[in-house]
Amino acid sequence: MQRAIRDYHFGFIRELATRWDLLALIVALAVVAFLAEASRGLLAPLSQLDATPLSLAPVHLPVYAARTTLRMFAAMVLSLLFTLSYATWAAKSARAAKLLIPLLDILQSVPILGFLSVTVVFFLSLVPGRVLGAEFAAIFAIFTSQAWNMAFSFYQSLRTVPTELSEAADSFHLTPWMRFWQLEVPFGLPALIWNMMMSMSGGWFFVVASESISVGQTSVALPGIGSYIALAIQQRNLHAIGWAIATMALVILVYDQLLFRPLVSWVDRFRVEQEPGMEPPASWALTMMRRSRLINGLSVLFYSTVRWTSWQSAPHEALQAAAPKQPRPRWRGWKLLWPALLLAIVALALRKLAQTFAHTQLAELQTVGLLALLTLARVVVLIALASLLWVPLGVWIGMRPRVAQWVQPLAQFLAAFPANLLFPLAVYAIVAWQLNPDVWLSPLMILGTQWYILFNVIAGASAMPSELRRAAQNLGVRGWLWWRRVALPGVMPYFVTGAITASGGSWNAAIVADLASWGSTKVRAHGLGAYIADATTAGDFHRIVLGIATMCLFVVAINRVFWRPLYYYAERRYRQT
């Protein structure tokens, strides 16, 4: 359909190629070269990893960065496939949704690095002796950091397709397949892209952490920035760490400019609220793609595929000539089978859990519980401190559009930057000044996640209607009263959103933040994170699972008891409609 109108209007081509074609060609070729380079090592035997050890020479960093980015990309594709299938299943079947949606909620609370500890051995055994297995494990870990919220967002979109659009699709006899690609996916796309971006910024943290891991006897260091950093720590090489940080910053910047800016700008047309005159977000890369026939061809290819597959599938039954319609007998068996299936799953799960925890000592449970409380206390204190710092600053910045324009992307960039790259610097300082790790390792947990608070508050403050601010000014509301009655309520829903993300992220970060090393010096804090990390190093699966389960329970409980009610309260009470 894209084609038809284009033929009609732009039937002839004047120039052989535009500047944009050239630019696009260069970029595209570079991408191909990069993919080839990066995937070359995949099929190499695992022993080659030992044979060609990582090198700290900065020359190798581009290749390492490429491998890291490729992992990220692979995980994103996986997450997308997962989202499209899982969320659709949940949205189309009320019966399945009853299980799938709570499951998703639990899954998003499971500490991601915990997943890694458990799955790395499994994946290694899947492709014995090949690097691919280790790659799978890393990609899977990143996948788990990205997929859940994407699936949630798409599920939400599927449930809220406007009635009239849905009726229009019905009355024009779109088949389910056409409906999915022409209505449901486009409708869900803006929210999905936004969540992809959020996932991606969380993902860098885990890709770095997942590259260099040892579970018991199994120790893997996949070529990538994460392993590079790990090696630099081992060798106490501050220069190398500096190089790695710079490379990472560059990679994130490029990813943002080449992938997400264009996507966010492009997806603007899919918004259903159609306000004419709203300026869509700009992106030079998108302009390039739009003006280049090369990339245009790709999008036409995609549309054609959608059309072709729609064509191949049978038309809507109403359109099948003279087919006598008979009510399709619904298979009643599900009514019996489904509960049976659920029961079987539950039984199996219970048995597995019972086996795992059969020999757990009460003392062990107490220790874990105590450590979890300790970590909880840390998270609470840190979120409170970060809020005290960033809320006023965020409000101040958000009310000044010129400043916000600069700080907002910076805060988003900092949120995406894997804070674990900075850990060595902190450890270096702790060792050098002999600080108390129980106190001074803690800030690392929130190093990367505090930015969510900042940029959400900035967004909230910028969104506050200027009339409200003028009114407050006009009434002479100033000082503490202004904060209490105007600024804080105004940014409340945004702050809560940011704080939820920050809190969840901090729990995840605990696994790497509680236990840090610099060369052979180990610094450790007491907490659940250190417990899981220790168990991972020791290859003690029983304790890994126990630690993960405890963390998972804590996170779910805190979300249900504290954050969720607070979120709804803030939404109801303070959201300006």
Partner 1 sequence: MNAVPLLQVDAVGKSFEKPDGQELLVLEDVNLQLFEGQIIGLLGRSGSGKSTLLRLIAGLAAPSRGQCNYLGVPVDGPAVGISMVFQSFALFPWLTVYENVALGLEAQRLPRVEIRRRTLAAIDLIGLDGFESAYPRELSGGMRQRVGFARALVVHPNILLMDEPFSALDVLTAETLRTDFLDLWSEGRMPIKGVILVTHNIEEAVLMCDRVLVFGSNPGRVLSAIEVTLPQPRNRLDPLFRELVERIYVEMTARTGGVRADARTEFFPGQGIGSVMPHVSTNELSGLLEAVAAEPFKGKADLPKIATDLQMEIDELFPVAETLQMLRFAELEGGDLKLTEAGIAFAGAAQDERKRIFARQLLTYVPLAAHVRRVLDERASHVARKSRFIDELEDFMSESDAEQTLRAIIGWGRYAEVYAYEDESARFTLENPA
| Of residues 44 and 165, the one with the C-beta less far from partner 1 | 165
> Are 169 and 182 contacting, i.e. CB atoms less than 8 angstroms apart?
yes
Q: Does 432 bind partner 1 (CB under 8 A)?
A: no
| Of residues 50 and 167, the one with the C-beta less far from partner 1 | 167
Among 95, 159, 239, 269, binds partner 1 (CB under 8 A): 269
Among 227-235, 245-253, 305-313, 376-384, the segment contacting partner 1 (CB under 8 A): 305-313
> Are 250 and 267 contacting, i.e. CB atoms less than 8 angstroms apart?
no
Number of residues that bind partner 1 (CB under 8 A): 39
> Are 372 and 550 contacting, i.e. CB atoms less than 8 angstroms apart?
yes
Judged by DSSP in three states, 350 sits in: helix
Angle at 506 between CA 69 and CA 483, to 5 degrees: 115
Report how far apart, in Å, the C-alpha atoms of 301 and of each of 263, 280, 296 are. 18, 25, 8
Q: Which of residues 163-202 bind partner 1 (CB under 8 A)?
A: 164-165, 167-168, 170-175, 178, 182-183, 186, 189
Distance CA 528, CA 367 (A): 9
> Are 157 and 188 contacting, i.e. CB atoms less than 8 angstroms apart?
yes
Q: Which of residues 348-387 bind partner 1 (CB under 8 A)?
A: none
| Of residues 174 and 244, the one with the C-beta less far from partner 1 | 174
To the nearest whole angstrom, how small is the minimum distance from the Cβ of residue 254 to partner 1?
28
Q: Does 566 bind partner 1 (CB under 8 A)?
A: no
To the nearest whole angstrom, how small is the minimum distance from the Cβ of residue 89 to partner 1?
24
Q: Are strands 521-524 and 515-518 parallel, antiparallel or unpaired?
A: antiparallel
To the nearest whole angstrom, how small is the minimum distance from the Cβ of residue 563 to partner 1?
19
Among 58, 315, 392, 443, binds partner 1 (CB under 8 A): 315
| Of residues 159 and 173, the one with the C-beta less far from partner 1 | 173
Distance CA 197, CA 189 (A): 12
Distance CA 444, CA 427 (A): 10
Q: Does 575 bind partner 1 (CB under 8 A)?
A: no
Report how far apart, in Å, the C-alpha atoms of 347 and of each of 340, 343, 344, 378 are. 10, 6, 5, 37
Q: Which of residues 97-156 bind partner 1 (CB under 8 A)?
A: none
Residue 223 phi/psi, 5-degree rounding, is -60, 125
479: left (phi over 0), alpha (psi -120 to 50) or beta: left
Q: Does 276 bind partner 1 (CB under 8 A)?
A: yes
Q: Does 317 bind partner 1 (CB under 8 A)?
A: yes
| Of residues 184 and 211, the one with the C-beta less far from partner 1 | 184
Residue type, 573: R
Among 304, 310, 360, 537, binds partner 1 (CB under 8 A): 310
Q: Does 307 bind partner 1 (CB under 8 A)?
A: yes
DSSP symbol at 332? T
| Of residues 5 and 432, the one with the C-beta less far from partner 1 | 5
Question: How many other β-carbons are positioned within 10 Å of the β-carbon of residue 96?
Answer: 14
Query: Which residues of this chain interact with partner 1, rule CB under 8 A?
Result: 1-2, 4-5, 8-9, 162, 164-165, 167-168, 170-175, 178, 182-183, 186, 189, 269-272, 274-276, 307, 310-311, 315-319, 325, 573
